[in-house]
Amino acid sequence: MNLVAIKSAIDALSAPTISFTILTVIFPFIFPPSDWFEKIHRKSGLWRTWTKSGCIIGMVLITAFFVIGYFDPYFNKTLTKADNFPIVLMIYSMWFLIWLGMYKAYRNDARIEQGLKPEEYNDPDDKVLVWPDLVYIEFICLILFQVFLIVWSILVAAPIEEPANPAATPNPSKAPWYFLGLQEMLVYYDPWIAGVLLPTFIIVGLMAIPYMDINKKGDGYYSFKERRVGIFIFMYGWVVLWLFLIIIGTFFRGPNWNFFGPFEYWDTHKVEALTNVNLSEILWVKWLSQGMPSNILVRESLGFVLTGLYLFVLPVVLAKTVLKDMYEAYGPTRFVSLMTFGLVMLALPIKMYLRWIFNLQYIIAIPEVYCIILLPL
């Protein structure tokens, strides 16, 4: 296979509708949350991902992708932008740190099965003082990181661009790299949902984890088998629903916010024939072949019903069926909190697929109140 064919294949697979689906499908086989996935994980050899050879192969593949991109006339323009240099570092560090954690977790799981203590186990009587032991190490790390930032600022040119010109808007106009995940969410959600509500849920959810976690296993040492469900959920939310969205916004979004492959020419005249519609328009105009009702509650009734079923009825059904044991173990307060954060997180991929497949813009749209309200579904 020649280089042109490889680039074409990468461009085709990098379309978010394809790459996101592939990543979502294979994710539970890489981070198996149950015995069934664990069995396939072992038989297929995916467990070798978390060996030393797996780390090297991952680093080689990432490096090969960037080397090919550096010598590509189109990808080079995106790759060599000073603002995108942190993304390259993020991809390398993301892969290495995830591998390191899983590598140590698998080693500890093997030791625990043999009746041995985890590698991080310390005698309770063997204490390390915060001062001077911990503070001393943190101070050294602070100095080294400052040196790194100074060298980075000297070697990587990041000049201030010309003053903003309202007559010449940049195309594409992208947010700073650390906000690109939020900017990508704006494609699927109303600004107050993507810019306010979802980030608030992310921050509050992360703060609430210690209070909702009742599993004492894997506390203070690396372990995957003792926390595989929690690790799977956290890794999917962090890697797929956050870091991958940043990568999409950086490398796959071009002029007019259209999708482009990394090796594809950014054609400013590319036009996607999309007609975004609201759920109420699908119900009344397309399905019932009649005009839109003037009453807001009647017009948006299907959206209200679906949202209510998703946020309020589904948790009750799950608590009485497949998650009955979890409900009894966690109690009503913790269970409701976990379901709330989980359903809001799951709403993002659901909404992404609804937009990709049906061009669905809003589940509930009420422009009469001078803003469009999209409930998180």
How wide is the angle at C-alpha 126 spanned by C-alphas 120 and 130, nearest 5°? 90
Nearest to 174 by CA among 251, 111, 234, 244: 251
Nearest to 350 by CA among 310, 321, 298, 315: 310
Q: Is 3 exposed, middle or buried (0-12, 13-18, 19+ CB in 10 A)?
A: exposed
What span, in angstroms and rounded, lies between the C-alpha atoms of 338 and 215? 14
**266-323 pLDDT per residue, tens:** 888 887 766 788 999 999 998 999 888 888 889 999 999 999 999 999 999 999 998 8
Any bridge partners for residue 277, and if so which?
A: 360
CB atoms under 10 Å from CB of 254, counted, come to 20
pTM here is: 0.86
Average pLDDT, the chain: 87
Give me 125's structure tokens. 């009587």
What span, in angstroms and rounded, lies between the C-alpha atoms of 31 and 233? 9
User: Within a 13 Å sphere around the CA of 172, how many CA atoms are in the beta-carbon half?
Assistant: 22
CB 206 within 8 A of CB 369: no
Residue 98 in this model has a pLDDT that exceeds 90: yes
The alpha-carbon radius of gyration of the chain (Å, integer) is 24
> What's the rounded mean pLDDT across residues 3-10?
88
- Determine the residue type at 40: I
What's the confidence (pLDDT) of residue 61? 95
What span, in angstroms and rounded, lies between the C-alpha atoms of 93 and 101? 12
What's the confidence (pLDDT) of residue 106? 94
